Structure 1
């Protein structure tokens, strides 16, 4: 699991943004609810005080204390209640409720806050156990006598219970929402990026053998469709460039064959002229050698061009790779004996692949020739062939001079020679491994190299086994049948999209 992938980064950003939003929302809800219910309680206390003043205090002088006590006890019983009420005049308490519910104290235990400065205000007092009580004080001045103080109060415990419940809901709900959002976001991103994964998989296949394939166009009308079209146009330009280079190589090689043949024929005629000086004969011989070398280069370039362009007609048939390789090894033994190089081969049984026997023999011969050429006298060259899964693996290892690390990626390039100081006669023309690579690709195989400078080199060829080749060709035929083309699009999309398969966005 790649944590740096776009899916993880977008999901993380989405969840982080949602977490900040939920935290802000939770704090706002908590503070808003606390302020609302606190103001509601304060408003209720003030309304109670105003009701007592209007309904019971103002008629007190005219209706008497007995009526006042009776009415107050009916509206605000002296037993256990949620709120407390106290009405006092000077030092005299005209009426007082009993113990408040949930608090082990009575109203008489609360200090009086009744004076002119606190009239119309809400005060906060605390019991010995730390419980908070809100009290509202209202002062009424009679025309005669001492002013009357009305006090109403209630505990904030219900508010605390509500806020505690709200806090627990937010505390447990927020992680659940974030987890669900993370899972949902991950699934949604996987769904949204599925076309991108399809493009990536198809792009990996484009160019393994040729550039004729195209990426599927996503008909979504968004950036993904523009990206697929842009990539297809880029592949089309690359295909045109590669095709131009191949045509140039093939045409140049083809055009050079005739002049080289004529040059060689003319030189051979000149060599038959009597009375030539030894220096002239030596010069003509050297020219013939260079002509032969040039002809070999031209033939090799034409071979590579045909293989890469798909125009090479190969006789594909089941080939016993072990028998072919051991036979080639026997033919190369004379070359190894000249340098006193030991040739060994580790094989067992028979391993069949589908291929052109002549071309596969050329692969083995080129690998062995390359290994013998760059291995000093008294060295060794070992060849091994084995079946590994669905592949036949052929390795040629030597104890030669090795290849520098910086040159390893270039060994299959045309005209590349790792040892620039070697002569043409001993160092080759730099096309042997390029031909090996082209033949392997034409056989749906690969060739890789590993080397330690000064200790030797190992070249590994992997080819599909016979049954794997059959499955591969069947899959290719199914792919060709199921691939359909899109009709031309307006304006700039028409030239590219008409050749491309289409995939959906879901």
Structure 2
């Protein structure tokens, strides 16, 4: 799962918010439990001190010291560990319970109450052995004017023990809850996101074979259903705009053919007239060249429009791509020899595709012609045919001037030229690669390019591969006749790639 996917982002946000909530909840529970235990202990100590005053000190004048000691020993016997009790009168200890045993606290180490800030309140002390105590001091003035101090206290070790146990529980359960909730959220999100995955997969397929496909409408009644309907309406508008563009190109090309034919005929008649001045002949010849160039552009535009619109009647038959490329390169070897360019052909076993031989040959011619035009003298053009999985692959690579990286996304666009002057001098119209792309799309394939400026370019053509046992028709073989110009070192009984030089 990509960390940038919608599911990852939502799950990360959900896990983060849950972790924050669990941390806040754990802190709140810890503080709440600690406050509750502390208040409960303080309340217990204060209630015990008040009970001693009301039950034993108030009747002390009437019942005497013996009764007081007997009652105190019975209610708070010596040796009792919790809570400890001490009643003092001035510097005299009237009663003191035994030392605390668990944990051990020596009561004689505790100072007598002397700080007024301790009265009617809880104060804390730490013993020599590190035990922390909580002590409540309650002063009492008897009717005879005697002042008593009642101290009730206990260690806070039980509170600390409970808080330690609570902390351990929270430290263990919080990560477990977070992990389980994160995985649970991840799998729970799979179901709501299934329609989005379906829309994405279908959207990837729209336009690859035909634009008439539509996205499935998710019948959920929520935003996903509205999204699918909106996307389908957008595709309708795009299809209408593209259809209008194709109709315009086809209609314009068709309407231009007749006037161009008439103009060319008139110019050819004029140039045959006797005794024409030389500048006039040159002007008519230049006009004829531009007229022929315009006719080529119009013809190319009509071809692209028919291919894009599905109006091109192509005879789809099994074609051996290796043999077809061989036969095509045979007719182009002279172009390479003129510039002393090495034209190399690498191939392996037979690669059979379903297509129109003439159109596939046009793809090879356009790509190899471009490679030869833009490769300097003594350079190299290499053509490779192979197959991978269910695709036939055709590469045309050269050692030419290359294509600027800024121009790579646009090389298959109509009339696009990375260097206008250079293309014009070489006779290009800016439509050759557009025709290549249209032919590949009509065959259910694709065209792409890789290039480093100054190091050459490599064009890659992908076509659907037919089964190896498909028989190539005699009609297809007429485009793949072997020439004596090739020194074939191709495969004999092996499927390994081999090299043919021209």
TM-score (structure 2 length as normaliser)? 0.83
Higher helix share: 1
Asked if 2 retains the 8 angstrom alpha-carbon contact of 1:123 and 1:136, the reply is yes
Q: Tell me, what secondary structure is at the counterpart of 1:421?
A: helix
TM-superposition CA deviations, 1:447-489 (whole Å, max 9, x none): 2223344443332212121149x9xxxxxxxxxxxxxxxxxxx
Using the alignment, how far apart are the partners of 2:113 and 2:160 within structure 1?
24
- Once the two structures are overlaid, the 10-residue window that deviates more, 6-15 or 152-161, is 6-15
Q: Tell me, what secondary structure is at the counterpart of 1:200?
A: helix
5 Å-filtered alignment, 1:233-272, equals 233-270=233-270
Asked if 2 retains the 8 angstrom alpha-carbon contact of 1:114 and 1:138, the reply is no
2:206 maps to what in 1?
A: 206
5 Å-filtered alignment, 1:267-286, equals 267-270=267-270, 280-286=280-286
* Cα-Cα RMSD: 2.9
Structure 2's unaligned 5+ residue stretches are 471-502
TM-score (structure 1 length as normaliser)? 0.83
1:321 maps to what in 2?
A: 321
Asked if 2 retains the 8 angstrom alpha-carbon contact of 1:304 and 1:434, the reply is yes
Q: Tell me, what secondary structure is at the counterpart of 1:466?
A: coil
Residue 45 of structure 1: CA displacement?
1.6
- Once the two structures are overlaid, the 10-residue window that deviates more, 429-438 or 415-424, is 415-424
Over 3 Å counting, the alpha-carbon distance change for 1:458 and 1:144 in structure 2 is: closer
1:62 maps to what in 2?
A: 62
1:300 maps to what in 2?
A: 300
1:168 is the counterpart of 2:168? yes
1:34 maps to what in 2?
A: 34
Residue 346 of structure 1: CA displacement?
2.0
TM-superposition CA deviations, 1:173-232 (whole Å, max 9, x none): 333333333333444445444433333333333333443223333344444444333333
2:442 maps to what in 1?
A: 442
Asked if 2 retains the 8 angstrom alpha-carbon contact of 1:328 and 1:364, the reply is yes
Q: Tell me, what secondary structure is at the counterpart of 1:81?
A: coil
Using the alignment, how far apart are the partners of 1:385 and 1:222 within structure 2?
50
5 Å-filtered alignment, 1:345-360, equals 345-360=345-360
Asked if 2 retains the 8 angstrom alpha-carbon contact of 1:115 and 1:149, the reply is no
1:151 maps to what in 2?
A: 151
Using the alignment, how far apart are the partners of 1:423 and 1:140 within structure 2?
112
5 Å-filtered alignment, 1:24-423, equals 24-113=24-113, 118-144=118-144, 146-270=146-270, 280-422=280-422
Structure 1's unaligned 5+ residue stretches are 471-506
Using the alignment, how far apart are the partners of 1:316 and 1:463 within structure 2?
13
Asked if 2 retains the 8 angstrom alpha-carbon contact of 1:384 and 1:396, the reply is yes
Q: Tell me, what secondary structure is at the counterpart of 1:427?
A: coil
Over 3 Å counting, the alpha-carbon distance change for 1:146 and 1:278 in structure 2 is: closer
1:457 maps to what in 2?
A: 457
Over 3 Å counting, the alpha-carbon distance change for 1:285 and 1:39 in structure 2 is: closer
Q: Tell me, what secondary structure is at the counterpart of 2:332?
A: helix
